[in-house]
Amino acid sequence: MNVSNSIEVAAARIAEFTHKTPVLNAPELDKKLGCQVFFKCENLQRTGVFKARGATNAVFALSEEQAQYGVATHSSGNHGKALAYAARMRGIPAYIVMPSNASEIKKKGVLEYGGKIIECPPTLADRERYCERVIHTYGAHFIHPFDNADVISGQGTCARELFEQTDSLDVLMVPVGGGGLLGGSILCRDYASPNTAVIACEPEGADDAYRSWRAKKLIPQTNPQTIADGLQTSMSDRTFELMMGGVREVLTCSETGIRQAHELVMNTLKIIIEPSCAVPMACLLSKPDRFEGKRIGMILSGGNYDFRRENVSS
Amino acid sequence: MNVSNSIEVAAARIAEFTHKTPVLNAPELDKKLGCQVFFKCENLQRTGVFKARGATNAVFALSEEQAQYGVATHSSGNHGKALAYAARMRGIPAYIVMPSNASEIKKKGVLEYGGKIIECPPTLADRERYCERVIHTYGAHFIHPFDNADVISGQGTCARELFEQTDSLDVLMVPVGGGGLLGGSILCRDYASPNTAVIACEPEGADDAYRSWRAKKLIPQTNPQTIADGLQTSMSDRTFELMMGGVREVLTCSETGIRQAHELVMNTLKIIIEPSCAVPMACLLSKPDRFEGKRIGMILSGGNYDFRRENVSS
């Protein structure tokens, strides 16, 4: 399938089930930063995160036969919730394998949309083993969180909207975890805004994309340490290839930088974002010269953040 | 001046200096509530509050002669910040008389936009006395927070945008403090969406609008007690008249209701709002039958809320 078409097809397919999220701009902040930042607010997306796009596209791309027994995935968080949402929209069951130590708020998110939770021991091997068992038992169709062409095309619709809402972006800054959002953004940029440089942004404590990009080969993440819990995942071969084919550079930032950027964005924009969202801003703040005078698109990926809980514990 | 024209004039005048704020909708919340709610996000407005509209309109409506020595007001909060902002946009000084016990965050808001703070003892009489002195000393033009036709027309541009963004609203719910936003909303409704019922919403602990509406005469507020600190003010004759000429009814809500609604809106919409903003939702939640099946516009008036501080102290 033609790459650009797959994103256009996704946009039409998911329109009914996803929000066209607003783009915010804060002129006073721009003045301080010396550049213009256009925030694409996926924290205001259905399910509170951009992943509703990819999951909805993947679920509705299935044939009747593929979809008849439902869908399954393993996820500790946002993708599970998004898949439960998409499955409910299509009227099919969603089986979400979650580690037994997943937080109550994450379980609640899945249950809220009618997803069925299957608990497993908290290791990747167990997650995959349990997920295979679920697929075998129920005949459910597996939807990977990012290593799936339809998921990636769905995530690409976010950049598509941003380019439509905001002209002539010099730079598009995208957080990178598994690389689905990054891959979709690059594919979309290639046809919709070829002069925009895509910059991937990552925490120093989970910098597999950075190391892989430097080494020009995929180096999986081991033992990630970061509050940006959405970005701990390793990339796949597919998303690594997409990154190498179109990213201008990969930047990293410190944990202190993430905390400061998190607070800055919430206080300035008056929106609730999760720490993973603050990573692109932390990267920008750490290298202000690089962005001087530029028009920057920044994807705020999600808002699933329990600010009360975080505060009590901090 | 023709009433409808004054809002249209205001909209054109302030367009360059204010955001067209997004309207959010949360389908899952709608399902729970049994009605559709369209949230007009003035927490995402310049200065974090709708008052930027009225202040900007009033400041730019001044003649060169009126504006030459700047503007002044007394305010413990949002109007002071908004006036400082508007004055900076016009390039004139703003003198803001603030009570000595105003919070640091509120002072910071005024200073951020270059406003000059004049501290006074924390009584209304002192605020007015100090403000008169400032006007006399500097020759500054007084801009009242709500008892001013241009301020009211400016606030009316918020409803104007909402009607443009969302068709066929059955109800528009507006929080009422001094009544500027309410008055402007009614004036706008009268010509832009005559079939929409305007409902004013107020905390039980500061219910001068409710008592005045019932008694059909202005009963000023004494000793307000509410966490909705933006709604403690008494209405003026002008805003009372506007209310009586066009409000369908005035609803009140409890402090517990405000806290619950505050948390619900922040958690569902992923945006930061101040407690005053939650008052219309608290009113809706207390009388769900009344709103069943309706299309409701709800103005979220502002986002100047220090959620960290609030949490630590709660």
**Locate tokens 């974002």: which residue?**
A273
Tokens coding A234: 């390793």
DSSP per-residue string spanning B82-143: HHHHHHHHHT--EEEEEETT--HHHHHHHHHTTPEEEEE-SSHHHHHHHHHHHHHHH-PEE-
Helix (H) or strand (E) holding A37: strand A36-41
Residues B39 and B66 in one domain: no
CA dist., res. B127 & res. A195, Å (int) = 55
More confident residue, A101 or A189: A189
**B311 pLDDT higher than 50:** no
Local structure of B183: helix, strand or coil: helix
CA dist., res. A39 & res. A166, Å (int) = 10
CA dist., res. A183 & res. A169, Å (int) = 18
Q: Which of B142, B162, B197 is the last residue of a domain?
A: B142
- Per-residue pLDDT band for B312 (boundaries 50, 70, 90) equals very low
- Per-residue pLDDT band for A311 (boundaries 50, 70, 90) equals very low
Separation of CA B254 from chain center: 20
- Per-residue pLDDT band for A230 (boundaries 50, 70, 90) equals confident
Residues B237 and B197 in one domain: yes
pLDDT given at position A312: 33
Tokens coding A174: 């995208």
pLDDT given at position B251: 98
The pLDDT tens digits of the residues spanning B27-64 come to: 989 999 999 999 999 999 999 999 999 999 999 999 99
- Per-residue pLDDT band for B24 (boundaries 50, 70, 90) equals very high
**A271 with B266: Cβ contact below 8 A:** no
Residues B212 and B112 in one domain: no
- Per-residue pLDDT band for A69 (boundaries 50, 70, 90) equals very high
Instruction: Please tell me the distance in Å from A268's CA to the nearest CA on chain B.
Output: 8
CA dist., res. B115 & res. B70, Å (int) = 10
Residues B185 and B292 in one domain: yes
Q: Which residues of B touch A312 (CB under 8 A)?
A: 311
Q: Which residues of A touch B269 (CB under 8 A)?
A: 44
pLDDT given at position A313: 31
pLDDT given at position A266: 94
**A65 pLDDT higher than 60:** yes
| Residue type at B52 in one-letter notation | A
Does B194 lie at the interface with A, CB-CB under 8 angstroms?
Answer: no
Return residues 35-54 of B near A (CB < 8 Å). 43-44, 46, 48
Residues A152 and A58 in one domain: no
Instruction: Please tell me the distance in Å from A124's CA to the nearest CA on chain B.
Output: 30
Q: How many C-beta atoms surround the C-beta of residue A88 within 10 A?
A: 17
Residues B17 and B73 in one domain: no
Report the residue from A27, A272, A312 with minimal CB separation from B272: A272
Separation of CA B180 from chain center: 7
Domain membership of residue A255 as a residue range: 3-49+148-313
Report the residue from B27, B271, B312 with minimal CB separation from A270: B271
Q: What is the mean pLDDT of residues A282-310?
A: 89
Torsion of CA A130, A131, A136, A137, to 10 degrees: 70
- Per-residue pLDDT band for B234 (boundaries 50, 70, 90) equals very high
pLDDT given at position B5: 87
Helix (H) or strand (E) holding B79: helix B78-90
Q: What is the mean pLDDT of residues A188-212?
A: 97
Q: What is the 3-state secondary structure (H, E, C) of B15-27?
A: HHHCCCCCEECCH
Q: Which residues of A touch B165 (CB under 8 A)?
A: none
Residues B18 and B72 in one domain: no
The pLDDT tens digits of the residues spanning A151-180 come to: 999 999 999 999 999 999 999 999 999 999
Does A148 lie at the interface with B, CB-CB under 8 angstroms?
Answer: no
pLDDT given at position A77: 79
Residues A292 and A180 in one domain: yes
Residues A77 and A215 in one domain: no
Q: What is the mean pLDDT of residues B135-151?
A: 96
Residues A174 and A295 in one domain: yes
Q: Which residues of B touch A22 (CB under 8 A)?
A: 22, 24, 44
**B270 with A44: Cβ contact below 8 A:** yes
pLDDT given at position B175: 98
Q: What is the mean pLDDT of residues A208-212?
A: 97
Provide the mean pLDDT of chain B: 93
Report the residue from A27, A112, A271 with minimal CB separation from B270: A271
Percent of chain A with pLDDT over 70: 96
pLDDT given at position B138: 95
**A57 pLDDT higher than 70:** yes
**CATH code where residue A298 lies:** 3.40.50.1100
Dihedral of CA B136/B137/B140/B145: which sign? negative
Q: What is the mean pLDDT of residues B200-220?
A: 97
Q: Which residues of A touch B44 (CB under 8 A)?
A: 22, 24, 269-271
Q: How many C-beta atoms surround the C-beta of residue B238 within 10 A?
A: 18
Q: Which of A142, A177, A193 is the last residue of a domain?
A: A142
Q: Note the residue count of chain A.
A: 314
pLDDT given at position A314: 28
Q: Which residues of B touch A47 (CB under 8 A)?
A: none
Q: What is the mean pLDDT of residues A22-35?
A: 95
The pLDDT tens digits of the residues spanning B252-285 come to: 999 999 999 999 999 999 999 999 999 999 999 9
Q: Closest residue of A to B266, CA-based?
A: A272
Number of domains in chain B: 2
Report ipTM for this prediction.
0.83
Q: Which of B107, B142, B177 is the last residue of a domain?
A: B142
**A7 pLDDT higher than 70:** yes
- Best to test chain B binding among A113, A270, A274, A311 (most B CBs inside 10 Å): A270
pLDDT given at position B279: 98
Does A270 lie at the interface with B, CB-CB under 8 angstroms?
Answer: yes
Residues A121 and A188 in one domain: no
Q: Note the residue count of chain B.
A: 314
This prediction has a pTM of 0.88
Q: What is the mean pLDDT of residues A14-38?
A: 96
Q: What is the mean pLDDT of residues A226-238?
A: 92
**A308 with B311: Cβ contact below 8 A:** yes
Instruction: Please tell me the distance in Å from A37's CA to the nearest CA on chain B.
Output: 15
**Locate tokens 């609008």: which residue?**
B209
Instruction: Please tell me the distance in Å from B215's CA to the nearest CA on chain A.
Output: 38
Residues A119 and A196 in one domain: no
- Per-residue pLDDT band for B177 (boundaries 50, 70, 90) equals very high
